[in-house]
Homo-oligomer: A and B are copies of this chain.
Amino acid sequence: MTRLTEHSMEIRVRYSETDAMAFLHHATFFVYFEMGRTELFRAAGGSYRRMEERGLFFVVTHIECDYKTPGRYDDLLTLTTRISRMSFAKLEHTYEVTRQGTLVAKGKSVLACLDRKGEVQRLSEELLYETPSAEGDA
């Protein structure tokens, strides 16, 4: 598979994302992971927004995170998102959040794809992307 399956982006910690410990609140990492999926999908030639306009929705069925060291306001974090597995019905991602090379947190998630009626859709290159992959271009 020649599709892009890894993407890195920088995220500046917002003041509203901190808590009374002055740490980046642990639930915010899941918001970051979702941003990582959006940007990886865009970089690979897809668009969640257009998928939703076509009546297809990704729902998270499992997500988890391990926290190693606190994030703080104004930190410039690097989020790396990878597709770790794509099966008949599930799309799995892993995530790493680092600050200047130090691991802040790592996570993983499992997504399913549903139509408007809530029925699970079979995942395929054709479903996900509107343009052929680099391989398809060859």
Contacts and interface: CB of A to CB of B under 8 A. Distances in A.
A25 B20 contact: no
Interface in A56-74: 57, 59-67, 70, 72-74
The size class of the interface chain A forms with chain B is: 35 or more
Contact of A19 (B16, B30, B62): B16
B48 A31 contact: no
A68 to B, nearest CB: 8
Contact of A30 (B30, B34, B70): B30
A65 B59 CA distance: 13
7 contacts: A18-B20, A20-B72, A23-B59, A27-B30, A38-B74, A61-B67, A64-B65
A66 to B, nearest CB: 5
